[in-house]
Every structure is written in structure tokens, then in C-alpha cells.
């Protein structure tokens, strides 16, 4: 029996035959991993976006917006002077009830969403119990977990508010 030594063409063909599928497999695996990561992040962003948009729609309708707030230790921070922070849905509702009763309209000017965070630039038309209507521009930063607003931080100019 004679042993045949492979020629150069055979070696090149063998390398191509073995390497091409391996390289294809590596490429396909990387693309699938990237698509999976993107879809996971897009899912979180979409849920966050839906939650925040739903909150503002309910706020415009004047009912049901409270259902978008987490029952599990929601954190609220108002970065006006003085800074005010409350924890818990009940405490938040109590601390903000005066504001919510003054809302005539709300306009979301911009909404930026990244994973479980969202930033809304909003404009509220407000009517205090005694006094003239006024507008307040607000930056609102949300964190959404499990489809509920888990934290909310707001930044606004306090000067147009009645003293």
C-alpha cells in the first residue's frame, strides 16, 4: 500500500472546506448575539416608552395616571430649592396633590428613552385655586421597572408658582 502525500491544491481545498463553515458559524453566532442584545434593550426601552407615554396620556385625561406609579417604594425627588425627596406611592401622592389638581393641560415636547430610563421635557398649563393661569416647563426623569414608574426626578423653575 502506497501512502500518498497531499499536494498543495488538496491542502488549500481542505483548509477552505473546513475554515469556511467555521468562519460562517462564528459570524452567524456574533450577529445573533448582537441581535439578541439589541432586542433585549429595545424591549426594555419599548416598555419604558409605553409606560411613560401611558402616564402622560392618562394625565392629559385627568384620570388613571396613578396606576402607572409603582406600589413598591417609589422614589420621588424635586430638585427645586429646597430639594424635596419622598419615598412611597402614598407619600408621593400626598406631596404632589396640590400640583396635580392645578393641571389644565400638559404637553410632552420631547421624550428620550434608554433602557429603563426616560427623560421628558414637558410644559404644564396650571391654574392655582386663587390666581392666574401660568405655564411651567419641567424636565422629568423616570426610571421604569416592571412596567411601573419606580422613580421620578423633576427639575423646574419655581418662580411662576404662587407663593
Radius of gyration from C-alpha coordinates of the chain: 28
- Per residue in 6-32, pLDDT tens? 566 655 555 555 555 544 545 444 444
pLDDT of residue 107 exceeding 90, the answer is yes
Task: Give the residue ranges of DSSP H helices in the chain.
Answer: 8-61, 89-102
Mean pLDDT of 137-160: 92
Minimal CA–CA distance to 127: which of 158, 159, 99?
99
Mean pLDDT of 49-55: 96
Backbone angles phi, psi at 90, to 5 degrees: -60, -45
Domains belonging to the chain, first-starting first, are 33-156 (3.10.450.50)
CA 120 from chain center: how many Å?
Answer: 10
Phi-psi region of 129 (alpha: psi -120 to 50; beta: other; left: phi over 0): alpha
Amino acid at each position: 500500500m502506497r501512502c500518498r502525500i497531499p499536494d498543495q491544491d488538496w491542502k488549500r481545498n481542505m483548509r477552505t472546506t473546513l475554515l469556511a463553515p467555521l468562519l460562517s458559524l462564528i459570524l452567524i453566532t456574533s450577529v445573533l448575539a448582537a441581535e439578541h442584545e439589541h432586542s433585549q434593550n429595545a424591549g426594555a426601552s419599548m416598555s419604558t416608552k409605553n409606560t411613560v407615554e401611558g402616564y402622560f396620556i392618562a394625565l392629559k385625561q385627568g384620570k388613571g395616571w396613578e396606576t402607572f406609579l409603582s406600589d413598591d417604594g417609589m422614589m420621588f425627588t424635586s430638585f427645586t430649592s429646597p430639594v424635596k425627596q419622598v419615598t412611597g406611592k402614598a407619600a408621593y401622592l400626598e406631596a404632589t396633590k396640590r400640583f396635580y389638581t392645578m393641571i389644565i393641560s400638559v404637553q410632552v415636547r420631547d421624550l428620550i428613552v434608554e433602557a429603563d430610563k426616560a427623560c421628558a421635557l414637558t410644559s404644564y398649563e396650571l391654574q392655582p385655586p386663587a390666581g392666574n393661569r401660568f405655564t411651567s416647563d419641567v424636565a422629568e426623569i423616570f426610571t421604569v421597572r416592571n412596567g411601573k414608574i419606580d422613580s421620578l426626578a423633576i427639575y423646574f423653575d419655581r418662580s411662576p408658582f404662587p407663593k
